[in-house]
Structure 1
Amino acid sequence: MRIGIFVLAARFPGQESGRVLADAVDLIVAAEKAGFDDAWIAEHHFMSYGVCPSATTLAAVAAGRTSRIGLGTAVSVLSTQHPVALAEQAAMLHHLSGGRFTLGVGRGGPWVDLEVFGTGLERFERGFAESLDVLLDALSGGAVAADGDFFRFREVRMVPQARLRPVVACTSGPTVALAAERGLPMLLGMHIGDAEKAAMVDAYGGAAHGGAGGGHVAAGVAHVADSTAQAVRELRESMPAWLGPGLAGYVPVDDRARPARDIQKYVDMLTRIHPVGSAAHCAETLLRTAEATGIDRFIVMMEGIGEHQRILENIRRFGAEVLPLLSG
Structure 2
Amino acid sequence: MRFSLYSELQLHPGKTPETLYAETLEQIVNADRLGYDAYAAIEHYFFPKFSISSNPTALFAAAAQRTRDIRFRTMLHALPYHNPTVLASVIHATHILTGGRYEWGVGRGHGWIPLKAGVPLDEHARPRYEEAVDLLLEALENESFSHHGTYFDVDDSHVVPFVDTPYRVYLGGTSDRTYTLAAERGWGVAVPPLLPYKVLEEQLDLYRSTCAEHGTEPDIVWIHACHLDDDRETALREGRDWINGFIQGNCSPLTEYEKPPADGLMAAGYGFYAAGIMEQLAEVPYEQLIEEDYVWVGTPEDIIARIEETIGVCEGLKEIGITVNAGGAPHWMAIKNQELFAERVVPHFKGRVPAAAEA
| Match 2:173 to one of 170, 173, 188 | 170
User: Residues 182 and 58 from structure 1, CA distance in 2 versus in 1: closer, same or farther, beyond 3 angstroms?
Assistant: same
| Conserved? CA contact 2:194–2:225, under 8 Å | no
Aligned to 1:38: 38
Could you tell me how far apart the structure 2 residues matched to 1:177 and 1:27 are? 34
Q: Runs of 5+ in structure 2 lacking a partner?
A: 263-273, 352-359
Q: Find out whether 1:315 has 2:338 as its counterpart.
A: yes
Cα 1:228–1:146 shift into 2, 3 Å: farther
For residue 183 of structure 1, report the CA deviation from its aligned partner. Answer: 2.3
Following superposition, the deviation at residue 238 of structure 1 comes to 3.0
Q: 1:190 to 1:175 in 2, by over 3 A?
A: same
CA distance in 1, matches of 2:229, 2:92: 39
- Code of the residue aligned with 1:121 in structure 2: it is L
- CA drift of 1:86 comes to 1.7
Q: Counterpart of 2:120? A: 120
**Hey, what does 2:152 align to over in structure 1?**
151
- Normalising by structure 1, we get a TM-score of 0.90
Q: In terms of mean alpha carbon deviation, does 265-274 or 124-133 score higher?
A: 265-274
Amino acid paired to 2:163: Q
| Counterpart residue number, 2:163 | 161
Aligned counterpart, 2:62:
61
Question: Please, which moves more after superposition, 279-288 or 121-130?
Answer: 121-130
Contact 2:296–2:306 (CA<8 Å) still a contact in 1?
A: yes
SS in 2 for 1:303: coil
Pairing of 1:244-283 with structure 2 (within 5 A):
244=248, 247-250=251-254, 251=257, 254-256=260-262, 259=276, 260-265=279-284, 267-268=286-287, 270-272=289-291, 273=293, 274-283=295-304
1:134 and 1:144 in contact (8 A); partners too: no
Partner of 1:85: 86
Q: How does 1:230-249 map to 2 (within 5 A)?
A: 230-244=234-248, 247-249=251-253
Equivalent runs, 1:179-218 vs 2, <5 Å? 179-208=182-211, 209-218=213-222
Q: Distance in 2 between matches of 1:151 and 1:266?
A: 47
CA contact (8 A) 2:44 2:109 kept: no
SS at 1:29 equivalent: helix
CA deviations over 1:148-169 (Å, ceiling 9, x no partner): 2221111322222343242111
How big is the alpha-carbon RMSD for the aligned residues of Structure 1 and Structure 2? 2.4
Give 2:265's aligned residue: none
Query: Contact 2:208 / 2:218 at 8 angstroms: preserved in 1?
Result: no
Matched, 1:303 2:325: yes
2:150 aligns to what SS in structure 1?
coil
Q: Counterpart in 2 of 1:8? A: 8
Contact 2:188–2:219 (CA under 8 A) maintained in structure 1: yes
Q: Residue 222 of structure 1 corresponds to which residue in structure 2?
A: 226
Distance in 1 (alpha carbons) for counterparts of 2:216 and 2:138:
17
Q: Secondary structure at the match of 2:344?
A: helix
Q: Does the 8 A contact of 1:44 with 1:51 survive in 2?
A: yes
Please state whether the residue corresponding to 1:155 is helix, strand or coil.
Answer: strand
TM-score (norm 2): 0.82
Mapped contact 1:12–1:306 kept (Cα < 8 A): no
Distance 1:269 1:68, change over 3 A: farther
CA deviation profile, 1:73-120 (whole Å, cap 9, x unmatched)? 111111211222222111122222222111122111232x43454443
CA distance in 1, matches of 2:89, 2:41: 18
| Alpha-carbon offset, residue 278 of structure 1 | 0.6
> How far 1:198 moved relative to its partner?
4.4
CA contact (8 A) 2:325 2:334 kept: yes
Q: Which amino acid aligns with 2:15?
A: Q
Q: Contact 1:11/1:20 (CA < 8 Å) preserved in 2?
A: yes
Deviation at 1:318, TM superposition (A): 1.6
> Which of 293, 308, 316 lines up with 1:287 in the alignment?
308
Structure 1 distance, partners of 2:45, 2:27, is 21
**Residue in 2 that maps onto 1:20:** 20
Cα distance in 2, alignment partners of residues 34 and 311 from structure 1: 13
Change in CA separation of 1:90 and 1:186 when aligned onto 2, cut-off 3 Å: same
Q: Which stretch has the larger CA shift, 119-128 or 47-56? A: 119-128
CA–CA separation in structure 2 for the residues paired with 1:213 and 1:78: 24
Q: Which residue does the alignment assign to 2:269?
A: none
1:245/1:319 Cα in 2 relative to 1: closer, same or farther (>3 Å)?
A: closer
Match of 1:52 in 2: 53
Structure 1 residues 44 and 267: alpha-carbon distance in aligned structure 2, compared to 1, 3 A threshold: farther
Identity across matched positions, percent: 24
Q: Secondary structure at the match of 1:283?
A: helix
Write the letter of the residue equivalent to 1:92.
A
The 1:89/1:169 distance shift into structure 2, 3 A limit, reads same
